Chains A and B, each alone.
Chain A
């Protein structure tokens, strides 16, 4: 019998593995640093910023499930649904992690391609924007 199942059978309420307040603070810090990095010019920082933001969102999904509890296995002897952790946000967080993993890999590949083409890590100006800005400064020719 696993520790969780035993605890559930004995009727003791499990202490949450991480307190929600700490997790909520972590989510906040991740969002803040992610946003800060996203606003930088070098592409690597943008990418790390996006990675932090996705972590923040995934963690938030997990926190949304409420306090943690016993492993949600049906048929595990003695476990009662009331003491189980909510499995749905966990499943959603897993899906979101896999998706963000794939997209981050693709993004890294494109960033590398950008570096290979321009030999520069900094996000380039939009040529059309620069043209219009130039046009405005100089006046129509």
Chain B
């Protein structure tokens, strides 16, 4: 079966396979801006994203069977031109991201954020689909680029689209939060350009495969400071302690589908960049960066989850759990062993899906009750048992209860941690899992149990997001159910998936095939 599919994937030229996830959504976005009829605009991403998913699946098969696929854009040779590289890690993450993007698109259309009908929100409709596609392009470009400067470009593509999405139909408080988000992201980008300038000054190249060799000849102190500067840059994007403060402030104000995509994808792109740069271009600095990352991971885990427990709003609780669980991924990386990095990759896959699911469910809750505040919602199980199931499954998974995906991913990380004897972080991780369960139980106890509460009227009835309307469109529920099912599929496919993560991690730490594929 896999062999047949791999053979099929081999018939497509590598240039098309690797370039398509970056270029197709951009073309789609341009088309969607030109063709403003609601039906056409909706059809474009509904066509583009499945094609991207197929392509990403083909990439994963090819990369797993034949090793990393490298494409030099415009035929400029490797260290000078733009390299796109699809290895196991990038293609796996592209695939998962596109699946999540597809489901959330259906959800957004159901909710009416994507194509609100009345005249006032006409501008929103025109902007949503193109921005969404540009975001998709930026995310896959970030995963596929083999070049530090193009990683910056990819980040900017993704972030600019996210600036547009977060300010869609924004009221005063949303504009204030969006401002924080944009200023912080822009500052991180400025720092990124600065580090790229310094890296270029030290080595004369920005191609990541080339940098591995070039940086090995740079004096240790210079190289280490570059590595740490990059951790700061990506730490802001990934919401790592102590640079996470912007996230719980800005994510909750966006409409639910937008927050769901941000929660699933944007911080993971930052973490991906940390994993890629630290394993590929700074392999000699792990003696220092490993402990630094481990301390940061521990602090992120603890501070994030304590923040979550203190909150009184479902969206803010979930936003703090994003921060906290970024710590798990970074912890896996910090071991710099195959098992650790494999655990981190598996955790990323799990967390992309589960965190998106939880925000989708939050949107359903808000739709039904009109608010996200825990002190104003209760007795949801009386209204909809289905909603209870849809929330309970991903919440248990997030906390790491067997047999859900969170359990597998945490188990992989804890095993990796005990293998290298880092008992403190292992203990901390277990504690944070319990506290995650506690924070989810707080939501459950407050919102789902008790006597049914009154519906809170929509504070801003004129915007595209209708809340407190009791009726929930079937598309929204179906999309949420679909992403819950994707989450349930992870433990079912656990064995092969973890084996794939192990191979991806071995690739990352050895890096030989990657460098060979790019430089030839």
Residues of chain A at the chain B interface (Cβ within 8 Å): 38, 43, 46, 50, 53-54, 56-58, 60-61, 63-66, 86, 88-89, 92, 95-96, 99-100, 102-103, 106-107, 110-111, 113-114, 117-118, 123-124, 126-128, 132
A121 to B391, CA, bound (A): 41
Minimum CB–CB distance for B268 against chain A, Å: 22
A61 to B152, CA, bound (A): 13
Residues of chain B at the chain A interface (Cβ within 8 Å): 80, 149, 152-153, 156, 159-160, 163-164, 167, 170-173, 175-180, 182-183, 186-187, 189-191, 193-194, 196-198, 200-201, 204, 206, 249, 310, 316
Nearest A residue to B200 via CB reads A64
Contact B175 A50 (CB under 8 A): no
- Max chain B C-beta neighbours (<10 A), residue from A110, A113, A123, A124: A110
Contact B316 A128 (CB under 8 A): yes
A63 to B198, CA, bound (A): 9
Contact A64 B201 (CB under 8 A): yes
Nearest B residue to A106 via CB reads B163
Contact B149 A92 (CB under 8 A): yes
A111 to B160, CA, bound (A): 15
Contact B193 A57 (CB under 8 A): yes
Contact A110 B178 (CB under 8 A): yes
Contact B200 A61 (CB under 8 A): yes
A61 to B196, CA, bound (A): 7
A127 to B170, CA, bound (A): 16
Chain A contacts for B160, CB-based, 8 A: 102-103, 106
A65 to B196, CA, bound (A): 11
What are 5 sample pairs from A and B whose C-beta atoms fall under 8 A apart?
Answer: A64-B198, A103-B163, A110-B179, A114-B179, A126-B177
Extra pairs beyond A103-B160, A124-B172 (17, CB < 8 Å)? A38-B183, A46-B183, A53-B190, A54-B190, A57-B191, A61-B193, A64-B197, A92-B196, A99-B153, A103-B159, A107-B186, A110-B163, A117-B171, A118-B172, A126-B180, A127-B173, A132-B310
> What DSSP secondary structure best describes chain B's contact surface?
helix
A132 to B149, CA, bound (A): 41
Chain A contacts for B177, CB-based, 8 A: 126
A129 to B100, CA, bound (A): 32
> What DSSP secondary structure best describes chain A's contact surface?
helix
Known contacts A99-B153, A117-B171, A117-B175; A65 and B187 CB within 8 A of each other = no
Chain B contacts for A57, CB-based, 8 A: 190-191, 193-194, 197
Minimum CB–CB distance for A120 against chain B, Å: 10
Query: A89's contact among B178, B200, B249, B310, by CB below 8 Å, is which?
Result: B200
Nearest B residue to A95 via CB reads B153
Nearest A residue to B249 via CB reads A126
Chain B contacts for A88, CB-based, 8 A: 80, 200, 206
Minimum CB–CB distance for B312 against chain A, Å: 9
Chain A contacts for B159, CB-based, 8 A: 103
Query: A107's contact among B182, B196, B201, by CB below 8 Å, is which?
Result: B182
Nearest A residue to B185 via CB reads A103
A110 to B179, CA, bound (A): 7
